[in-house]
Every structure is written in C-alpha cells, then in structure tokens.
Amino acid sequence: MENFDAIIIGGGSAGLAASIALGRSRRSTLVIDANEPRNARAAHAHNVLGQEGISPLQLLDQGRNEAVHYGAQIITDHAVRIEGSSLNGFTVHTETAAYKASRIVLATGLTDQLEEIPGLREAWGISAIHCTYCHGWEVRDQSVAVLGLGPMSSHQALLFAQLSDRVTFVNHHPEHLSAENREILNKSGVVIVEGRVQQLRVDEHGQLDGIVLANGDLLESQAAVVSSRMIANSELYLQLGGTLKDHPMGTFIPVNEMGATDVPGLYATGNAANLGAMVMAAAASGTVAGAALNGDLALERLDSHSSATTA
C-alpha cells in the first residue's frame, strides 16, 4: 500500500492549491479526485485575478499541471471510506484501491440542493444563477427574475438591482419575505410578483425562455436567480467522528484559521469549510491548509527526533 505525507481528497481549486503548497515543500502528496467540479456547467470563472473569465475546466487543467510539476500524484477515483488517526496514520479507501497518509485534506466541496421546479436543473449554472459576483456582470441590464426560495433571496434581489433596473422578485415562498425586506425591495425598485413558480421554460442549451407562474402567466426573463441549500460533502469527515455546523445556507465542516478541523491531522478547505468561497478564496484556503499541514509534519518530525535522541 502506497504511503504519502498527505492525501488530498478533491481536485478543485482548493485541493490543487493545497497540493502545490505541499509539493513545493517536498511533501509526497496524492490527490484523489472524482472529476465532478461544481462549476463544470459554467462557461467562465470570474474574480480570478490574472485569469478573469477563464473556463473553469481550463483553470483546473492548468492547476493539475502545476501540481504534477511539483511532484503531486493525481488519480481519478472516488474516496469512499477513511479510517485511522494522526497517531498511527490514515487509510483512505477508494472504489479501486487503498492508500495511507500521515495527514488528510478534505477538499470535497459541496452539493447544491435545488428546489424541485421543472426546468431548474437544466438551466442551473447557465441561465439559472445564484451569485451576483460570479454571474451578475453577464446579466447586467437584462430582465432578471429572482425566485423567492429562501431567506437569502431578498438579499440576492437587492444585489442584482445594482446591475439592472429590470429585476423582479417572484414570491414563491412568502414565509421567507419579511415586511422589512419587502420594504427594502420596494425602495430598490424591485417589482414583487406574488405567486409560485410552476416551470422554467428552457431551451436545449439551458437558456431561459421565460418563467411560467402557477396562475398560468408567463414572466419574461433572461435569467433566473435562485438560492440553493448548500451541503458540505462531509461523509468522510463524519466517518472520523467530526461534527458539522449549521448555516442559514446549509451545513459546513468547521475549521480554524489554518484549515484544521476538530479531528487531529484532518484539514478541510474550500467550499467544504466555507460555503460562500469563490474560486480564489477556495484556492487561498487550500494554500493555507497545505502550509499548516507541512508545518505540522515538520514539528512532528522534530519531536520524534528529540525523543529518539533522548532515548
């Protein structure tokens, strides 16, 4: 069974950044990646300094090349089980093999739980969007419908109103729209439509062709803004006895400022630990976790050397 200093589970921007930090410190590193990036359907990645508008898949391809350059091994597989501890080492079981490591980084991302509205999944990531900073500029001055699906929906409408004066709020779940937020939307020029969404009309390319309301009316819109419930992919963390934390937008793996979880020797980074992290923030957290892990191993080696010398 191959043994590594660190195994990183997840090869997105956070996991690859961690592997580069470790590789540059000459740590033997394995990245296990299921090749299921959350932003695969998006045409562009934004707020990526020096790479604005790059294809998310191209960005990951460049990151993989950089990681391999510094010695990381990358395999495409699903990690299904993890056991062990920082004292005796961890064993990660995939669908095809098993690997050992002194430390683990979970860069497993999150899963978006979407409202069951016909057409939403087909449009998701293309014309059904969620983040003004990731997609807002691309729909500026367009007709934008914000679907009132959760407690953050009115905040989404407020932000998109900065980019277009044709923003409509569809009050799908009226229990989430407080009187205070209703007043804020009114002051922002956002039109509030009472009623539920029956369907998103979407073409074969995922482009929105209007929103059908429960009363049969058709709301013309070029983009639908939705909020998902974001759930950290945490099965492996839970297997080691970790405890998740709740957030208004979902659940996440709690970590300290260096990415360490409450399980010794286990780090978490990217969207698994920060539901709102965009590409650069996820990558930055990966670099920090990789650096912290390297320092942890350096101190452990020093302690072992001191103990051996004393004996």
Q: For 119-140, how does the pLDDT look when each residue is reduced to its tens digit (9 = 90+)? A: 999 999 999 999 999 999 999 9
pLDDT of residue 304: 67
Topology (CATH level 3) of domain 115-225: FAD/NAD(P)-binding domain (3.50.50)
Average pLDDT over residues 245-271: 97
From residue 139, give the alpha-carbon distance in Å to each of 125, 142, 145, 278. Answer: 13, 5, 11, 19
Q: Where in the chain is the domain with CATH 3.50.50.60?
A: 3-112+229-310, 115-225
pLDDT of residue 302: 78
Q: Other C-beta atoms within 10 Å of 11: how many?
A: 25
Q: How far apart are CA 92 and CA 175, in angstroms?
A: 44
Max distance between CA atoms of the chain, in angstroms, equals: 81
CATH code for residues 3-112+229-310: 3.50.50.60
pTM over 0.85: yes
Q: Which band of pLDDT confidence, cut at 50, 70 and 90, is reported for residue 1?
A: confident
pLDDT of residue 309: 54
Q: pLDDT of 14-33, one tens digit each?
A: 999 999 999 999 999 999 99
pLDDT of residue 301: 81
Question: Of 34 and 304, which is predicted with more confidence?
Answer: 34
* Mean pLDDT over each residue of the chain, to the nearest integer: 95
- The alpha carbon of 166 is separated from its chain's Cα centroid by a whole number of angstroms, namely 29
On the 0-12 / 13-18 / 19+ scale of CB atoms within 10 A, 52 is: exposed
Whether residue 231 has pLDDT greater than 80 = yes
Q: pLDDT of 153-206, one tens digit each?
A: 999 999 999 999 999 999 999 999 999 999 999 999 999 999 999 999 999 999
pLDDT of residue 30: 98
Least confident of 36-45, 69-78, 237-246, 266-275: 36-45
